[in-house]
Amino acid sequence: MSTESHQAPPETPFRRLSSLVMACCLGVMALSVFINVVLRYGFGSGVAASEELSRLLFVWMVFIGATAAYPAGEHMTFTSLVGLLRHKPRAMLAATLVIRLLVATSSGLIAWGAWQQVIVGLDSYSVVLRYPTALLPLPAFLCASAICVMAVVELIKRTPLHLGFAAEQE
């Protein structure tokens, strides 16, 4: 195993804001579910909007976190493959370019599919809260678009792979 320690990613205004928004989402979800549980078991009634609100906030929280994790290098990576190429600069450059192209392509495809779901959801509304159901796939579109743009920028700048964690080798 590698003995290198993991350094925390630099704290940026976007990272602080995304952490704050995710904490607020989690807090509202926890409070909503707690109140609903107390009302259901204590008084035999509940808040119908609790489930819809929690689902919506959870989806947004996950995709905000995924967007914030990409520039910090905290997404799943092929550290063993890249670790093997570490001492071969040309192979490392080629692997980096291929990985960035794959990330940009897959993120672009996810964004395209999510956008189609946003369009479909514009004319339908949730049952209880009556929000447009387009709000459920919207964070997937925003996240995938942002990651695609970041990957293309990294590709253009030829930014080396940031593995986040040190490559573990046994």
pLDDT on residue 4: 46
Q: Is position 23 within any domain?
A: yes
Q: Is position 166 within any domain?
A: no
Q: Is position 162 within any domain?
A: no
pLDDT on residue 80: 67
Q: Is position 121 within any domain?
A: yes
Count of domains for the chain: 1
pLDDT on residue 140: 96
Range of the structural domain that residue 82 is part of: 13-157
pLDDT on residue 5: 46
pLDDT on residue 77: 66
From first to last of the 170 residues of the chain, give the pLDDT tens digit.
444 445 555 678 888 899 999 999 999 999 999 999 998 888 888 888 888 999 999 999 999 999 998 887 777 666 666 777 777 878 878 888 888 899 999 999 999 999 999 999 999 999 999 999 999 999 999 999 999 999 999 999 988 776 555 444 43
Q: What is the DSSP string of the chain?
A: ---PPPPPPP--HHHHHHHHHHHHHHHHHHHHHHHHHHHHHHHS---THHHHHHHHHHHHHHHHHHHHHTTTT-S---HHHHHHHTT-HHHHHHHHHHHHHHHHHHHHHHHHHHHHHHHHHTT-B-SSS--BGGGTTHHHHHHHHHHHHHHHHHHHHTPPP--SSPPP--
Q: Is position 168 within any domain?
A: no
Q: Is position 167 within any domain?
A: no
